Structure 1
Amino acid sequence: MSLAPYYYRPLTPPEAAGAAGQRRHTRNLSSSSYCTVDTSPESIISASNYTPSRSPVLRQHGPTLLPKIRTQDSSLEPSSAHRPAIHRRTSSSIIHTTKHARPVMYRSATEPVECAPMMSPVSNASYSRSNSLNPSPGLSKVQLNVPVKTHSRSTSASSINSDVLNRFGYPTYRHMPVYVSHNQQTPSPDLFATNVMPFTNMAMPEPPIINLEGTFDMPVDLDTISRPCSMSPPPMLPPMSTISMLSYLTQPTQPINLVRHLTFQTGRGLTNHFWWDIRNVRPWKSFSLQTMSAIPDLLTLLNFQHDTACLPGNNLNTTTVTPGSETDLANLISKIYFPKINAATRLSLGNNSICLYPAPTPTGSGLSANAANTPTFLANYPSDNDRTLSGLPRGRVVGLVRSFDRWNTGMRLEGPARKVEYLRTLAHLQKCMREHSCRYGFIITEIELVCVRAGCDERGQPYFGFVEVAEAVETKTFARNESNSESGVNLTVTLALYYLLMLAKATPLPGQPSSFMDVGGPGALTRQRVWDGGHHGENVLSIDEDGDVEELGKDGKDKWIPEPQMGEKREARTVRGWVWPADPWHKREGERGERGSGRGKRG
């Protein structure tokens, strides 16, 4: 058999050759840890820096010899120069080996080279953990004999005491011992490197404090607040197109032709309001641009610039549309005007703002749910939950749509028949306002818009049959009026409806009355409260606060209003149980078929 040395690992001793099952495992990750007993410290040091040498063949005959612990191995003083620096890591107490005792196993592991730079930012060299755990510059020798199949650790948790910690503890537990340097000194391990790079604790710059209360008095540059993340200049933003809300609400709108087919109400007993319910008609002169400019901060809000991208309806459609009926006219009006008005109120009041929309189909039954008694348009908040007797949401503003041939402001100055048609539409609007307990309403046609306010006293109590009618606003009005030196603009349909919604919002505008009108139930008989002009005689001249003179007739009613005929009075008594506001309460006012469906019907 050849005696050539093995190049991979030492041979098994002869006495342990037959004990294959008693072979223990050794965890060794470095080939440089195989050495003989006679290896000098110089060769070990050179082997740690260069290619490891191959171990010769080791053969042992006889019983296994245990190493003897010497006093110089247990001392912390440096060894003499003529002796090799040999140290073996053992326990502080002598362990007697018996057949039941577990033999000692020496473990050696080497850290990967790639992990060394992560341990210390100072040193670039890599060293094994076995070297770093030795308290002496000399390297320990490896025990090659394998006495039994089991293995044990050199120390356990129960054998650790203060002496062991003083000798083998980490540098964080004690001070490093002082060693005598050799001619060829081993560098300190990376795991316990004490060189520390200097670090300066610098405070991070704090961003400036921005006060979000109120309005900004100066523009805020976000580039100076945010931390720069790139050396390249910020991208150039395209110029933003802006427009003021006042200019947006005075833009021209799509023209509408007259309705082709007129529909007139036929039959009797379909409505519970009659044209002589209107007793007094007065001009609403405060509904103007002069009043709007006098309200604090309203013009400032209208002149504020907004991005045109958030405002719908900027592209004008000049094509003239022709509705076929009043229903088609209502759909065109809600499509042309309402998006711009709702966008303006949303920018002025927030997302939960009052908005204008077509009235839904009534869910109730009886006369109050008839289309001839319900409004065409409603305006309220999305959070409003109140309902009327007909099942509609309670509106803060109600609106009616009529064709120009059926109703217009010039009908008041025409014959009695045309005056009756003029008063019938006003009576329908008054009935809707009293049912919804709101003070504001409007009537719109293809040609004009008329805003109406219910008459109330100083305490807010309504008068039955008293309405204030604003000056008509033509639908073709747009752009600027250069002759008007005060405001420079004309009142358009969109601007007028926007102002009407601002009057009807939850918090009233300064100096303007609230939109809520306390009408009460049918038992309250608020219809009996009429305006008599402060006099109790006939043919009395009434002078309002604006200086307009109106001749009053019987019971304070305007003298130009005609008297109803006998057939009309009979119909009114049959349908609702009363003719004049001063008549006593009748059981038909409660509408027995609708008493269980909701609140009592308002007078």
Structure 2
Amino acid sequence: MRRTSYGSQHAFQNTTQESYGYEGSYEGGYEGGYEDGYNRRRNREYQRSDLDALAEIEPYTTLVDYLTSRNPPILGPMESANLRRRNAKSPDYAFIWWDVRNTRHWNTFNLQTILATPDLDRLLRMPIPQAELPEPFVDDDVLQQGDRIAFLTIVRDYFCTKVTAALSQSIGTRSHQSLSMVLGSELGSSADIAGVYQSPSRPNGQIRVAGFVKSCREWNTMMQAGGDEKRREFLQVLSQLQRYMREHNTRYGYVLTEQELVCVRLATDAENRPIFGCLDIANAIQWNQHGSNRLTICLALWFLHFLAKRDPLPDWAGWEIPVPSAEDCSRRYCMAKDPWVPDPKYDEVELARVKRGWGEADEPYAYAAHTSI
């Protein structure tokens, strides 16, 4: 079986962590020590002459180069026969397409805003030994297989490997916290991919980022501009994502296909109260997008997970969002539907009332046996 490496497109010369004080202390010092790798590294400037001298010690790379290299090429979409659809007649009726009622443009999720976060550009350009950032290998047979299992294998072997390695370098070891990106099946999770936080107080891990894998035939951003049936399919996947994010009280999630990554944020009011059915949706990031001056899939996934660390970044909301219990009818805190959202069919609403106890978001429960957030 032939294996192909999809490494960085540039040649790097790098240095050791010790040379840059990775495990040492900042001369200015902080009371109580460093809280994580981001704050530990933010105060060091790296001059070109330093890099040239230290490059002779050990080859180095940077997070920005590591996370913006070209993704492995996928020859075509997943076969529709292998899609895992959920619709109005599914016995698992925890969510349905009209649960998402409003979409807003998450226009601050872009490369310029990310790099404007205090000292984050320095973190991304800090030299790191190449050995600390492994380049994943993806089998050619997997790339050409074209089904859901193969795609999840690519996600695990390529994206999970890269994002987890970059998070490890970003947060470091002294903070006694870690973030990783893993397949949901490894956790028994209903999400396809999960961002997991671990710390001494959370030894079993806590899911803080939710991701779902879909075929581009099953879901893509162009569906929002299509007819009513396409819009229903578009909203169905977002409703699935919203359900999972609310269950885990997490603000951030995403949908990944063979064509694009779309990052999503639960919308809240001024008091950080979640608005049911309202999602902030970032611009789609194309699969073939690469280069250090572009927001790539790996870089976006790394940053989305980085937002889920213990201490929120300046000017960015933390990962946790307090979702009231189902008994509090938190989904009744919603806004009027956007004009482009289709009306549900009568039989769909009736089935929803039977299966979960309510149809539309502003309705009371039909009976207490079935609840849903």
TM interval, short-chain normalised: 0.7 to 0.9
Cα distance, 1:386 vs. partner?
A: 7.3
Partner of 1:242: 60
User: Partner of 1:348 in structure 2?
Assistant: 170
Task: Mark the CA change 1:350 to 1:582 in structure 2 (over 3 Å): closer, same or farther.
Answer: same
The structure 1 residue matched to 2:368, chosen from 587, 592, 599, is 587
Task: After superposition, give the CA deviation of every residue in 1:472-529 in whole Å (9 maximum; x if it has no partner).
Answer: 001111124xxxxxxxx00100000011011121211101112111112112211111
Given candidates 333, 344, 350, the residue that maps to 1:529 is 333
User: Are 1:254 and 2:72 an aligned pair?
Assistant: yes
Is this contact kept in 1: 2:276–2:334, CA < 8 A?
yes
Q: TM-score, normalised by structure 2?
A: 0.79
CA contact (8 A) 1:254 1:320 kept: no
1:316: how far off?
8.5
Alpha-carbon offset, residue 271 of structure 1: 2.5
Q: Is the 8 A contact 2:70 2:289 kept in 1?
A: yes
Task: Provide TM-score, normalisation by structure 1.
Answer: 0.50
Deviations, residues 101-158 of structure 1 (Å, cap 9, x unaligned): xxxxxxxxxxxxxxxxxxxxxxxxxxxxxxxxxxxxxxxxxxxxxxxxxxxxxxxxxx
Structure 1 residue 360: Cα displacement: 3.1
Identity of aligned residues (%): 31
Name the SS for the 1:382 alignment partner.
strand
Structure number with the higher helix fraction is 2
Q: How does 1:453-532 map to 2 (within 5 A)?
A: 453-480=265-292, 489-531=293-335
Is the counterpart of residue 410 in structure 1 residue 222 in structure 2?
yes
Q: Select which of 391, 399, 423 maps to 2:235.
A: 423
Q: How big is the shift at 1:327?
A: 3.2
Structure 1 position 360 matched with structure 2 position 185: yes
The higher-RCO structure (CA 8 Å, 6+ apart) is: 2
1:423–1:212 CA distance, 2 compared to 1 (3 A): closer
Residue 393 of structure 1 and its aligned partner are, at CA, apart by 6.2
The answer on whether the counterparts of 2:242 and 2:266 sit within 8 Å (CA) in structure 1 is yes
- Secondary structure at 2:65's aligned position in 1? helix
Q: Residue 328 of structure 1 corresponds to which residue in structure 2?
A: 150
CA distance in 1, matches of 2:73, 2:350: 43
Contact persistence 1:259–1:322 (CA under 8 A): no
Correspondent of 1:572 among 334, 352, 358: 352
- The answer to whether the 8 Å contact 1:354/1:501 transfers is yes
The code of the aligned residue for 1:587 comes to: A
Shift of 1:383: 3.1
Q: Whole-Å Cα distance in 1 between the matches of residues 240 and 57 of structure 2? A: 50
| 1:431-450 mapped onto 2 (5 Å cutoff) | 431-450=243-262
1:269 Cα offset (Å): 2.3
2:223 aligned with 1:398: no
> Given that residues 260 and 322 in structure 1 are in contact (C-alpha distance below 8 angstroms), is that contact kept between their aligned partners in structure 2?
no
* Superimposed CA distance per residue, residues 358-415 of structure 1 (whole angstroms, 9 cap, x where no aligned partner): 113676xxxxx8xxxx21111121238779xxxx964110000000100000011111
Q: By how many angstroms is 1:589 displaced?
A: 3.1
The answer to whether the 8 A contact 2:179-2:197 is kept is yes
Is 1:273 aligned to 2:54, yes or no? no
SS of alignment partner, residue 557 of structure 1 = coil
Q: What secondary structure sits across from 1:396 in the alignment? A: strand
Q: Does the 8 Å contact 1:278/1:427 carry over to 2? A: yes
Q: Secondary structure at the match of 2:275?
A: strand
Distance 1:278 1:564 in 2: 12
Q: In 2, Cα distance between the equivalents of 1:379 and 1:431? A: 16
Inter-partner Cα distance in structure 2 for 1:353 and 1:340: 15
Distance 1:382 1:505 in 2: 10
What is the CA-CA distance between 1:435 and the residue it aligns to?
0.6
**Structure 1: runs of 5+ lacking an equivalent:** 1-209, 220-236, 364-368, 481-488, 532-555, 591-601
AA partner of residue 320 (structure 2): F
Q: Which of 108, 112, 125 is 1:290 aligned to?
A: 112
Q: Does the 8 A contact of 1:450 with 1:469 survive in 2?
A: yes
Deviation at 1:261, TM superposition (A): 4.0
Query: Which letter maps to 1:561?
Result: V
The letter for the 2-side match of 1:240 is E
- Could you say what secondary structure the match of 2:143 adopts? coil
Q: Distance in 2 between matches of 1:415 and 1:436?
A: 32
Contact 1:439 1:517 in 2 (8 A): yes
Structure-2 separation of matches of 1:501 and 1:315: 22
Structure 1 residues 417, 410: closer, same or farther in 2, change over 3 A?
A: same
C-alpha separation in 1, matches of 2:138 and 2:154: 15
Aligned length: 321
Q: Note if contact 1:453-1:469 (Cα within 8 Å) is conserved in structure 2.
A: yes
* Cα gap change, 1:393 to 1:568, in 2 (>3 Å): farther
Deviation at 1:302, TM superposition (A): 0.4
Task: Structure 2: give runs of 5+ residues left out of the alignment.
Answer: 1-23, 30-40, 47-54
Cα offset for 1:467? 0.1
Partner of 2:7: none
Q: 1:315 to 1:324 in 2, by over 3 A?
A: closer
- Name the one with the larger strand percent: 2
Distance change >3 Å, CA 331–CA 314, structure 1 → 2: closer
Alpha-carbon distance in 1 for matches of 2:145, 2:282: 26
* 1:471 positional shift: 0.4
Equivalent residue runs for 1:142-157 within 5 Å: none
Asked if structure 1 preserves the Cα contact closer than 8 Å seen for 2:195 and 2:305, the reply is yes
Whole-angstrom distance in 1 between the partners of 2:25 and 2:252: 39
Alignment RMSD: 2.8
**Is the Cα contact below 8 Å between 1:254 and 1:319 reproduced in 2?**
no
2:309 matches 1:563: no
